[in-house]
Structure 1
Amino acid sequence: MNDDVPRRKFSETEQLARSVFAGGFAGGVAKTAVAPLERVKILLQTHNADFMRFSGTWRGPVFAMQHIVRTQGFRGLFQGHTLTLARAIPHAAIGYTVYDKVSARLMPDEEHKTSGRRLVAGAITGMSALPFTYPFELIRVRMAVETIQSNVRPTPWNAVRGIMAEGRSSGGITGLMPFLHFYRGFTVSLLGTVPYRGGIFLVWETLNAEAKARLSPATLESNKNTIRLVIGAAAGTIAQVATYPLEVVRRTQQASGKGTPNRMIGFRETVNSVWTTVGWRGFFTGLGVGLFKQASSRLGKICIVLMLLQVPMHAISLATWQLAKEGLQI
């Protein structure tokens, strides 16, 4: 927020290293903070048969986490979290660094800081890291949806072997290149990244500009962390609501190897499957949006609770990013 404070001059290499560290640190902290709710959200999004009963109460996510602890132990709340960090840290490191570089090019001064340019900068940010980190996300989802009780905990290597086996058994081009199965749902992710990441940075930059225009420098400085958290929460919430149906389709495709291991299901088939199984409400399962509270008693009762996942995650990520940049003097 305090952009007028002079920064130390670093070499281009050191500046880049500090920027990457700040972004990666922010991504890791935010994902760790919401890891238990993230797993519950994935289980609900993929309509896991063992967990859909928890969508019938306001305390559904709490009951779901209690069930995980009881059947899988406390570590079950963080099942697949190592893969989450393996994706989130480089994704945030690359994304935030790219955003700083792209925004400096697209918006070198106040005159160029338009909504369109902010949206484009955010969209480029989201797409930059996705091809490199997407396989980690797929493996994480596969581990998160695994609810079979056994003495052997799911491991990343078992998930990798399973996905590779699906690819080899599918025939065609994926039979020759089984690693393509690590990109189930990638097209939908890429499609959703443009409005999602673009929207986050659009709202983030717009509200920050409004705060600077409306609040005194003293108020901004004394309340900067609170202001960042509030603006980050607003940015994440608005973007999440706008793109949530695409996220449900993506998660369903990512988890689909459990039911259709010999082929990758397409976008239209996934949409038809969700619609046929659950109806239109299925595209909003796990979303904490008050707008849908009256539309469905089952979804409405978990709406507000599960929205708490997105609010702190983006608030923590964006605020931590700014704090790390200040601490690293970049």
Structure 2
Amino acid sequence: MDTQPAAFGNDATLTDSAPATVTNATKSHTNEALHDIAFGSIAGLVGKIVEYPFDTVKVRLQSQPDHLPLRYSGPLDCFKQSIRQDGFRGLYRGVSAPLAGAAAETACLFWSYSLAKDLLQTTSLFKRTTSGGEDLPLAGLITAGAMSGGITSFLLTPIELVKCRMQVPLQSPVDPTLHAGIPLSSKSLSPFAVIRDVFRREGISGFWRGQLGTFLRETGGTAAWFGGWEASSLYLKSRIAQRTSTAVADVQLPLSQQMLAGAIAGMAYNFLFYPADTIKSKIQTGELSQHGARQTFLSVGKALWRTHGFRGLYRGCGITVARSAPSSALIFTIVERLKQAFG
């Protein structure tokens, strides 16, 4: 008679433990998501402050009108002319909106990357592996990066449109009616002035002008970004593990090697899909229409190729890749260090 209540008691204990396990798992995922958002925001702010002057030069090089002689002979000439005309502060024109955007972008990238990894781990698309402490092989991590970039592109396009139009006020075309309605000669252009102008002329959809270029760049570029970070980190960890006879999953990279892996990731992101970014920048800062036809990703790409060839698609790439190395190194290192301290 005594065994029956005991049995019921055991069942009750097992039943009670299931919700507790689910609750703990939910809390763990929630905390991880909050960490991704918070740490990504901080890292994004720092990275944007470091890279912004170089990004301004990159956008100005990309956005030079095709029907006019090139204003800048290269990145150094662009730096010199910009500083001579508007001072060093001019290279930070419009930085307020990108700072907020960088925080949101990087937070979204790391959050959606974790979300994509969790989703892929529940599928049978990729074989499980414990190498490097990850539950996905490198192909799965690259796929998760592509998914993360695709999601983030929809948030990023409006932010970049405002940023790009604020970065090119010194480049007013001869015929101002060809430009997308922005008074480029103004040195006091604010984010709100750009937002009002875009909404007045193009409506809500105008903020996603250049979305295809952003989507292509972010999908492929973020796959290369996270893939470059994961592959470089795994390689460096493997070398340390061999020297110290330690499991790869237990290796913590030193600061210098974390930054090296982050720098490699940043250069991979910017170089591989740079033409998509060039076309996107020209769409966002250039003509609303040409000969009555609305500018598209394909038409702008064809025009750029006919006028300047392959070099035109990679205009400003050198300075972009160079500035991406320290910026990306800081972003990944800050996130990793914060996760180690508070994760």
- Shorter-chain TM-score: what band? 0.7 to 0.9
1:280 pairs with 310, 319, 328, which one? 310
Q: Which residue in 1 is equivalent to 2:72?
A: 54
In 2: Cα distance, 1:166 partner to 1:264 partner:
14
1:74 positional shift: 2.9
Change (3 A) 1:76 1:85: same
In 2: Cα distance, 1:51 partner to 1:67 partner:
16
1:163 pairs with 190, 194, 198, which one? 198
Change (3 A) 1:261 1:128: farther
Matched letter for residue 139 of structure 1: V
Matched letter for residue 312 of structure 1: P
Q: Which residue in 2 is equivalent to 1:4?
A: none
Alignment of 1:177-216 (within 5 A): 178-216=203-241
Matched letter for residue 284 of structure 1: Y
Given that 2:157 and 2:210 are in contact with CA atoms closer than 8 Å, whether structure 1 keeps it comes out as no
1:30 match: secondary structure: helix
Alignment of 1:213-228 (within 5 A): 213-216=238-241, 224-228=254-258
2:317 match: secondary structure: coil
Cα deviations across residues 133-166 of structure 1 (Å, max 9, x unaligned)?
3211101001111116867511112211222233
In 2: Cα distance, 1:143 partner to 1:241 partner:
24
In 2: Cα distance, 1:180 partner to 1:36 partner:
29
In 2: Cα distance, 1:208 partner to 1:222 partner:
10
Q: Which residue in 1 is equivalent to 2:146?
A: 123
Task: Give the root-mean-square deviation of aligned CA atoms.
Answer: 3.0
Matched letter for residue 94 of structure 1: C
Q: What are the ranges of 5 or more consecutive residues in structure 1 without an aligned counterpart?
A: 1-8, 168-177, 289-304
Change (3 A) 1:261 1:117: farther
Q: Which residue in 2 is equivalent to 1:106?
A: 120
Change (3 A) 1:152 1:248: closer
1:262 positional shift: 8.3
Cα deviations across residues 103-143 of structure 1 (Å, max 9, x unaligned)?
24535752653232011110111122222232111010011
| Max Rg structure | 2
Q: Specify which structure has the bigger relative contact order, considering alpha-carbon pairs within 8 angstroms and separated by 6 or more residues.
A: 1
1:270 pairs with 293, 296, 300, which one? 300
Q: What are the ranges of 5 or more consecutive residues in structure 2 without an aligned counterpart?
A: 1-25, 122-127, 173-183
Moved more, 153-162 or 43-52: 43-52
Q: Which residue in 1 is equivalent to 2:35?
A: 18
Q: Which residue in 2 is equivalent to 1:5?
A: none
Alignment of 1:1-330 (within 5 A): 12-47=29-64, 52-56=70-74, 60-61=75-76, 63-107=77-121, 109-110=129-130, 112-147=135-170, 152-167=187-202, 178-216=203-241, 224-257=254-287, 264-288=294-318, 305-327=319-341, 329-330=342-343
Cα deviations across residues 50-90 of structure 1 (Å, max 9, x unaligned)?
9944335xxx43x4233323322332111121121121111
% identity of equivalent residues: 24
1:315 positional shift: 1.6
Moved more, 257-266 or 311-320: 257-266
In 2: Cα distance, 1:260 partner to 1:87 partner:
30
Between the two proteins, the alignment pairs up a number of residues equal to 291
Given that 1:141 and 1:251 are in contact with CA atoms closer than 8 Å, whether structure 2 keeps it comes out as yes
Change (3 A) 1:209 1:83: same
In 1: Cα distance, 2:309 partner to 2:113 partner:
38
Change (3 A) 1:229 1:245: same
1:123 match: secondary structure: helix
Change (3 A) 1:261 1:155: farther
TM-score with structure 2 length normalisation? 0.75
2:72 match: secondary structure: helix
In 2: Cα distance, 1:263 partner to 1:165 partner:
20
In 2: Cα distance, 1:85 partner to 1:234 partner:
23
2:273 match: secondary structure: helix
In 1: Cα distance, 2:233 partner to 2:71 partner:
41
